[in-house]
Amino acid sequence: MNKKNYMKCFRAISIVLCLVTAQSFMLPAMAATAADNGIGAVMDNVSLSLMNNISSAENPWSVIGLARSGKDVPDKYYDIYVKSLEEKLKSRGGVLNQRKYSEYSSAVLALTALGKDPADAAGYNLLEKLSDYDKVVSQGINGAVWALIALDAGGYAVPQAEGVNNLTSREKLVDLMVSRELPGGGWSMGESNADPDVTAMVLQSLSSYMDREDVKAAADRAVEALSRMQKDDGGFESWGYENSESASQVLVALCSLGIDPARDVRFVKNGNTVVSNLINKFYKKSAGGFMHTEGTPVDELATNQAFYAIAAYERFLSGKTNLYDMSDVNRPYNESSKHDSLENPDQKEFHSEISPEISAVRKAAARLAGMILRVAAVQGRR
């Protein structure tokens, strides 16, 4: 590290040390807030339902939600997922899907959440599947979103895979999303009007890139667009009807951006929030899950998304890392795939003025600063 970067890092560390001193005073208040809002009981009920449904263990999103919720989950539940994934990879020659590369991204996220190496899943390097930019984005903006989230979840470098001519990079993925922004803010899968689900997922993936002016500006416009889309009951409508998945994705996005979904005035409509909407309108206590639309049976997809969204909200309230920021996960394997040690040339240029040390310190400072602001807001309303 050169002298200039050393001084930047030293100053940033000094700020973090000051914030850490205050952290011990903040956590009790934040824990109390999480307990008082009633979501803890919902999480307990749904987590038990998921764990009792063995078939859900083969779903990466069930695994991600449970692993990031902090619930006490038997190892055998996670073992079912890992074994199922490995058998699938072996039987298909390492291929999960020829077209939907987001399936590789979700597998990378699940393995990372469990502290397992996605570069060695039954002998296959799943990160290599995300290295082919053309194949990743052939799925549309959805493919780019989840590839970026997966790579950033573990700070993974994009490996130089054999036969790949157009190598994926974080810069390419971010640039693609910024270029696809719709007039008035937000994103869609090709429609002329912004969709809350797609807009929210793009915001989740871009939340770590707010130091780019174009990203920050696009994110600000998208947040305002989501505020305009929100219904009077706190929910969101996609493809003509209100559904829980839209609310779930927006909840994750707001938490990723450090926006309190239950207190920010832009997202409180007639006293209703996306959190209250999700629980009051779509949660079915007797079935231990969530409905896709009001009055329909409990749905697996809706339940998984709502569960990990509420887990994201609990993490937000507790001052933990974001749902997909898995830097807090213990990974005992040899992390040769880490982004810090194997940076691609274009990625180095993208982060040319930000060393790994400074980047890590900035993230820690941002998290702690966010905790201070959230506690101040909570205590100011008591």
Q: How far apart are CA 131 and CA 47, in angstroms?
A: 34
Among the residues of 323-355, which ranges form H helices?
Answer: 345-350
Handedness of CA 189, 194, 200, 204 (dihedral sign): positive
First to last CA, the chain: 46
Hunting for tokens 């903040």 — which residue is that? 26
- How far apart, in Å, are the Cα atoms of 184 and each of 11, 215, 240, 250? 39, 15, 20, 18
What per-residue confidence (pLDDT) applies to 336?
55
User: pLDDT tens, 253-302?
Assistant: 999 999 999 999 999 999 999 999 999 999 999 999 999 999 999 999 99
Tokens of 199: 């807009």
Confidence of residue 16 (pLDDT cuts 50, 70, 90): very low
Average pLDDT over residues 61-78: 97
User: pLDDT tens, 162-213?
Assistant: 999 999 999 999 999 999 999 999 999 988 999 999 999 999 999 999 999 9
Q: How far apart are CA 281 and CA 291, in angstroms?
A: 9
User: pLDDT tens, 357-379?
Assistant: 444 444 454 455 445 544 444 44
Whether the predicted pLDDT of 23 surpasses 80:
no
Q: How far apart are CA 43 and CA 258, in angstroms?
A: 21
Residue closest to 1 by CA, chosen among 356, 371, 361, 381? 356
Residue closest to 345 by CA, chosen among 216, 172, 179? 172
Instruction: Specify the DSSP element, H or E, that contains 242.
Output: strand 241-242
3-state helix, strand, coil split of the chain in percent (to 5) is: 60, 5, 35
What per-residue confidence (pLDDT) applies to 20?
41
Instruction: Specify the DSSP element, H or E, that contains 283.
Output: strand 283-284
Please state, rounded to an integer, the average pLDDT across all residues of the chain. Answer: 85
Hunting for tokens 């100011």 — which residue is that? 380
Determine the topology of domain 37-327+346-351 in CATH. Answer: Glycosyltransferase (1.50.10)
- How far apart, in Å, are the Cα atoms of 237 and each of 75, 102, 179, 193, 250? 38, 24, 24, 12, 11
Angle at 354 between CA 352 and CA 359, to 5 degrees: 150
What per-residue confidence (pLDDT) applies to 201?
98
Among the residues of 140-297, which ranges form H helices?
Answer: 141-153, 170-179, 196-206, 213-229, 244-256, 274-282
**Structural contact between residues 26 and 372, judged by C-beta atoms closer than 8 angstroms:** yes
Whether the predicted pLDDT of 14 surpasses 60:
no
**Rounded to two decimals, what is the model's pTM?**
0.83
Four-CA torsion 344, 345, 346, 351, nearest 10 degrees: 80
Domain positions in the chain are 1-36+354-382, 37-327+346-351
What per-residue confidence (pLDDT) applies to 334?
56
User: pLDDT tens, 147-167?
Assistant: 999 999 999 999 999 999 999
Q: How far apart are CA 23 and CA 13, in angstroms?
A: 15
The amino acid sitting at 141 is I
User: pLDDT tens, 318-350?
Assistant: 999 999 999 999 988 755 556 543 344 444 444
Residue closest to 208 by CA, chosen among 152, 131, 135, 128? 152
Residue closest to 250 by CA, chosen among 265, 240, 239, 237? 237
